[in-house]
Amino acid sequence: MARAALMWITLFVAAVVFLSSSSLQGGTPEKTQPLKGKTVNINNATEEELVKSVPLITLDLAKKIVKYRKENGAFQTFEELLQVEGINRNLLKRIKPFLLLEGIGGKDCTC
């Protein structure tokens, strides 16, 4: 009898530990709030416009984007933003809906 009780207590403790650890580690999917902002052209937006319009863009990151653009020319693809220090694929995926790519290909481009 004591052996059966010990087994049930052990199973109960194991279940509690398992459920607690999975909820702490994100085991239960949570809905994230949709980001809000405005769409800006990544090839001519100022630092202030980037910070004000694009969620998750800090002033420091906006400065790096503008600096990269000045040094390397207009962004040809969104993926080129991955060359900017501080932007990774996850961040790019989240901010991409707020970015436009216009003005590439020279003055005669109808992009």
Tell whether 50 is covered by a domain.
yes
**Judgement on whether residues 62 and 96 belong to the same structural domain of the protein:** yes
Residue 77 CA to chain centroid, in angstroms? Answer: 17
**Judgement on whether residues 26 and 44 belong to the same structural domain of the protein:** no
Count of alpha carbons within 13 Å of 10, Cβ hemisphere only? Answer: 6
Helix (H) or strand (E) holding 77: none
pLDDT digits (tens, 9 = 90+) for 40-94: 999 999 999 999 999 999 999 999 999 999 999 999 999 999 999 999 999 999 9
Closest CA to 61 of 38, 45, 39: 45
Number of domains observed in the structure of the chain: 2
Question: Is 0.85 surpassed by the pTM of this model?
Answer: no
State the pLDDT confidence band at 109, using cuts at 50, 70 and 90: very low
**Judgement on whether residues 51 and 89 belong to the same structural domain of the protein:** yes
Closest CA to 63 of 38, 87, 29, 79: 87
**Judgement on whether residues 20 and 72 belong to the same structural domain of the protein:** no
State the pLDDT confidence band at 35, using cuts at 50, 70 and 90: confident
36 vs 55: CA distance, rounded Å: 7
Tell whether 109 is covered by a domain.
no
**Judgement on whether residues 90 and 46 belong to the same structural domain of the protein:** yes
Tell whether 24 is covered by a domain.
yes
Tell whether 21 is covered by a domain.
yes
